[in-house]
Amino acid sequence: MPVLVFAVCEIEISAQEYEPVISRQETVKDTFFNHYIVEDNYRWLENTDSAEVKDWVEKQNKITTKFLSKAIIRYNTYNSIPKYGFTSYNFPYKAGKYYFYWSSSDIYYKSFVHGNPVVLVGVHSPFNKDKINIENFSVSKNIKYLAYQFSRNGTDRTELKIVSIKSGTHEKDHLINLRFAEDIAWKGDGFFYSRYPETELYDITPRKEIYFHKIGTTQDEDQLIFKRDYPGNRCSFLTTSDERFLIVYDAKKDMDKMNIYFIDYQSDNPVLKPIITNIDVQTMIIDSYNTKFIAITHYKSKNGSVVEIDPSDPYKWRVIIPEYADAELLNVFTKKNCIIVHYKIGQNQYIVLYNYQGELLSKIKLPPTASVGGFSAAYDEEEIIYSYTTYTLPHIVYSLNSKTFENKLFDETSVTFDYTNIIYEEVDFFGKDSIPVPMILVYEKNLKKNGENPAILETYGGYGLIEQASFNPGIVYFVKHGGVYAFANVRGSGEKGEDWGKQGKGLNKQTTIDDFIAAAEYLVNEGYTSSNKLAATGASHGGLVVAAAAVQRPDLFKAVVPIVAATDMIRFEKFTVGAQNADEFGTIKDSLSFANLYSYSPYHKIKDDVNYPSMLIMTSEFDDRVPPFHSYKFAARLQSRPAQKNPVLLRIEKKGGHSDAKNDEYMYGFIMKELLETK
């Protein structure tokens, strides 16, 4: 395979290339519990609609663009990274006889794998004043309709439209006030969906409501199915494969309790009934089989098991697939003739097929560190389409037959670089309390551990989520140029099960930050890099961890890139979805929780006399998950101190949302410049 050649464009970058924006201060003082007085000198930046803030944003972007433009030219990131990303693969969603494909701009289908595409949806138009992105789609179980959700300018707010698959024409249906590209659940010629009361962009996100919409009617005619006013509740739902049952999850996240309800639409009186109430362990009904519910649970099983629940006798559970002590259950998919289970053992992953009596049918081992996804196909179809990917390989798509267990390559995947010399190494480092924490290292063969290698350390570390690797041409670029990429599975993630997540949650959030710091120390102590060659990055929750670690241990990092990070943890719950995350972070309404939030809040822990590492802070203009003024205030306070000599840059993606802020060409150009150029 061809290997791209790195070319350095020799240009002079002047020592005076960076001039920070010195922001004005307007002190606001808040008093908490008659004891804590918290000063906020940059709260005026929260008024994002003001002319002053808009002018401030333009100045920041102008300085950042000037600085980064030179970096991406010098290190050729603008040309090299997209070339590594030139891949060819087809990853379809199988429904009936059709294979559906989608991107942010269109949806099309084929009647067979190598057939001619039929375009159903195309949203990009020079006449659109907004940037429109398709976020999700779903095909009705009778294969008559396709519903798709789209956002404007990257916000979490979505709209929904319907296309007739046979005619390719849009129905008159147009639903608004949806969010987050949440799934819809079909029932005949209609579907259940989530709706939210209308609010301003950064207002606290209201509780969702579940409605049923019948195609051909207006949204005003939709039937309300479920709502809760309790502030700590989150709800979700699904319909079973036979469309007989609607399942509703009602989680009291701040109390770690959950209720599960159902409606049986074949009963004489189809009303919402409870099946499980106030359960405090993870349990999720995923489907039904022979009138019984199939569920994943962690009840009496740390790593997860699959059980059958009889709705007529919900306290009687039958274990179908027991817990395995060394295998963490990641996901379960049902077919008419089998249950497909996705397991993780260390960094190895397996796809295992069982029948409904729990007997093993087939097992497939996947490459180490692979991330598995897809498993699309109708319930009664034998062919299952799935894929796996890694940080340095795009999706490899397979077709698995659930009857014969034949597993074959679905379509060819090609890349423009030699991936055979890239090494994946699994290591453990010890946290502050001597607990071993896993980390994945990615680098090219024959790397010398001499402390001279540029390195990037990344994490997410929240909500008990397991990081699923995805192909990133930026990582390929970095390791192909002598870099070490490391991902730390710190506590707060789900890497080692439910308890691993709880160890970095709420009052334990500092443990997550300490683990990240320990990961950086490991990379330095083991000779993979040095503190003068080490960069740190993370997005969303990971951005918080990275920002906090950089403020607490500025000596460890040369460059830091927090992306859409929550940095003002005292104000976090006052906007958008912040209040719904009290179970993960805590709340300023409780004195102990407030003290904990204040103890690590990056914005508040900045010291006036410290020259912090070089930073590239990335956010988006319309991020309504973590509002951009978190980044604005963090950047303003860092930049406006005389002690700050290293550059602190703020990049704001225009007409973008939570998922749009990261720009690999700029990020890797910045990192390469900071790690490779001696100052």
- Coil, helix or strand for 246? strand
Tell me which H or E stretch contains 67.
helix 51-74
The residues, any chain, with a CB within 8 Å of residue 62's CB and separated by 6 or more, are: none
Q: What domain range includes position 331?
A: 324-414
> In the structure, what pLDDT confidence band is assigned to residue 207 with cuts at 50, 70 and 90?
confident
Residues 568 and 427 in one domain: yes
More confident residue, 252 or 466: 466
Q: Which of 362, 383, 414 is the last residue of a domain?
A: 414
- 290 exposure class (CB count in 10 Å sphere: 0-12, 13-18, 19+): exposed
Where among 414, 443, 461 does a domain terminate?
A: 414
CB 597 within 8 A of CB 506: no
Task: Give the pLDDT confidence score for residue 586 in this predicted structure.
Answer: 94
Q: Which two tokens stand for residue 210?
A: 């579940």
What pLDDT sits at residue 278?
86
Q: Taking every pair of C-alpha atoms in the chain, what is the biggest distance, in angstroms?
A: 79
Q: Comparing 467 with 486, which gets the higher pLDDT? A: 486
Same domain, 495 and 615: yes
pLDDT in tens, 362-412: 999 988 778 888 887 778 888 888 888 899 988 888 999 989 999 999 877
CA distances from 182 to 143, 493, 576 (A): 20, 22, 17
- Residues 366 and 422 occupy one common structural domain: no
Is 358 inside any structural domain? yes
Q: For residue 521, tell me if it sits in a domain.
A: yes
Based on the fold, state whether residues 472 and 600 are members of the same structural domain: yes
State the Cα–Cα distance between residues 500 and 512, nearest whole angstrom: 10
| Average pLDDT of the residues of the chain | 90
Angle between helices 473-480 and 77-84 (to 10 degrees): 110
Residue 595 lies in a domain: yes
Whether residue 568 is contained in a domain is answered as: yes
Per residue in 224-273, pLDDT (tens digit) is 999 877 655 678 899 999 999 999 998 876 557 888 999 999 999 999 99
Considering the domain architecture, whether residues 530 and 394 belong to the same structural domain is answered as: no
Summarised one tens digit per residue, pLDDT across range 73-118 is: 999 999 999 999 877 666 788 888 889 988 888 999 998 877 888 8
CA separation for the pair 308, 292 (Å, rounded):
6
The whole-number pLDDT of residue 115 equals 83
Average pLDDT over every residue of 628-633: 98
Tokens found for residue 317: 């559970």
What does the alpha-carbon distance between residue 478 and residue 484 come to, in Å, rounded to a whole number? Answer: 7
Q: Domain end: 391, 414, 437, which one?
A: 414
Residue 485 φ then ψ, to 5°: -105, 130
pTM: 0.90
Q: What is the pLDDT of residue 89?
A: 66
Q: At a CB cut-off of 8 Å and minimum separation 6, what does 359 contact?
A: none
In a domain, 153, yes or no: no
- Going by C-alpha positions, the residue among 427, 340, 398, 671 that lies closest to residue 533 is 671
Q: Is residue 408 part of a domain?
A: yes
Assess whether 518 and 377 both reside in one domain. no
Q: Do 479 and 625 lie in a common domain?
A: yes
The CATH number linked to 512 is 3.40.50.1820
Looking at the fold, whether 409 and 516 belong to one and the same domain comes out as no
In terms of pLDDT, which residue wins out, 181 or 667?
A: 667
Question: Does any domain span residue 517?
Answer: yes
What length is written for the chain? 679
| Mean of pLDDT values over 518-534 | 98
Higher pLDDT, 122 or 608: 608
Q: Give the E-state strand segments of 42-89 in sequence order.
A: none
* Alpha helices (H) in 382-484, listed in sequence order: 473-480
Low-confidence winner among 7-21, 415-429, 472-486 (lowest mean pLDDT): 7-21
pLDDT at site 232: 59
Together in a domain, 409 and 426: no
Cα 653 from Cα 651, distance rounded (Å): 7
The CA-to-CA distance between both ends of the chain, in Å, stands at 38
447 and 427 part of one domain: yes
- Residues of the chain with pLDDT > 90, as a percent, come to 68
Q: Based on the domain organization, do 459 and 439 belong to the same domain?
A: yes
> Do both 364 and 450 map to the same domain?
no
Ranges 16-30, 83-97, 458-472, 644-658: which has the least confidence: 83-97
Alpha carbon distances (Å) from 634 to 58, 67, 533, 557, 639? 17, 19, 24, 18, 9
What b/e readout covers 496-525, taking b as 16+ CB neighbours within 10 angstroms? bbeebbebbbbeebebbbbbbbbbbbbbbe
Q: How many domains does the chain have?
A: 2
Residue 186 located in a structural domain: no
Least confident of 209-223, 343-357, 636-650, 656-670: 343-357
Take residue 270 and report the two structure tokens written for it: 């189809």
Distance between CA atoms of residues 538 and 5, nearest Å: 28
5 pLDDT more than 70:
no
